[in-house]
Amino acid sequence: MDNLGFVLGASAIGAGLAMIAGLGPGIGEGICGGKAVEAIGRQPEASGAITRQMIIGDALAETTGLYSLIVALLLMYANPFIGQLK
């Protein structure tokens, strides 16, 4: 197997592995949404404020997932390892 093929294949696997980090934000947003529904159930009149806070919480929980997405995108479109072959 030539080096380029190996690097490309390993990069594709790495991009896939990086996206496993999507688990964390998924769980976090699930907890966040569940708690928000609980809070609205207890205090329906505060639903506007709770929803606003929930969306901010979701956005913050999402950040780690986006970092992994950036890594995966780098491996897919701007692979830094190919340049090191030469």
Partner 1 sequence: MINTAAVLMAEERTFTVDGPLKSIVFELFGKEWVIAETVFTQWIVMLVLAVLFFILGRNLKLKPEGKRQVIAEWIVGFFTGYVEDSMGVKYKKRFGPYIGSLFCFIILSCLMGLFGLKNPTSDVSVTASWAIITFVLVLWTKLKTGGVKGYLHSFIEPMPFMLPFNIIGDFANPIAQALRLFGNNVSGMVIGGLVYFALGSFAILVPAVLSLYFDLFSAVIQSYIFVTLTMSYVAMADMSEE
Binding status of residue 62 toward partner 1 by CB under 8 A: yes
Binding status of residue 67 toward partner 1 by CB under 8 A: yes
Shortest gap between Cβ of 76 and partner 1 (angstroms)? 8
Shortest gap between Cβ of 12 and partner 1 (angstroms)? 13
- As given in the structure block, the two tokens for residue 75 are 């491996």
Shortest gap between Cβ of 37 and partner 1 (angstroms)? 18
42 alpha-carbon distance from chain centroid? 31
Q: Distance between CA atoms of 19 and 71, rounded to whole angstroms?
A: 9
